[in-house]
Amino acid sequence: MNITLRNLRECPERREAAAAWFHQKWGVPLSAYLSSMRDSLAGSGPVPQWYLAIDGETEEIAGGAGVIENDFHDRKDLRPNLCALYVEERYRRRGIAGALLHRIAEDMAAQGADTLYLVTDHTSFYERYGWEFLCMVREESSLAQTRLYVHRQRLIE
């Protein structure tokens, strides 16, 4: 298996396909992904960013994730947020999610964002990759609480 991790800025021709893929996985409006990816490609700052794991044999999207200011929770001060991490079922248990998390943390730290946050209902997955549970946060437009994790990239000088 030959998986290549790409920032969308490295393959802007994939914007529409990537937006459709994320929309299918998460149900967030397609227009929201297209807008965020357009902003990413404009390159005005470190956020937003979008990453894809591409199968080198089929050119299919095997996985992906993004970095946005806030992932629909009430703690607007805890930003930027890693969002929409997903790996297609047939590609799971091959280290793709971990590789995406590592690449994103390194890239964001290189752009001055060495602390990232994410919301999830998972309770043990992200700890394997250096993320720490920080607190519970309220989801936007809901009374539901969800777990918020933090990752601090330690740069080696």
10 close to 43: Cβ distance less than 8 angstroms: no
**What angle, rounded to 10 degrees, do the helices at 30-42 and 15-26 form?**
140
Q: How confident is the model at residue 155 (pLDDT cuts 50, 70, 90)?
A: low
Q: Which two tokens stand for residue 29?
A: 């409006």
What is the predicted pLDDT for the residue at 133? 96
What is the predicted pLDDT for the residue at 156? 54
Estimate to the nearest angstrom the gap between the alpha carbon of 149 and the chain centroid: 13
Model confidence, pTM: 0.94
What are 27-73's pLDDT values in tens digits?
999 999 999 999 999 987 899 999 999 999 999 999 999 999 999 99
Residue 120: exposure state from Cβ atoms within 10 A (0-12, 13-18, ≥19): middle
99: nearest Cα among 58, 131, 129: 129
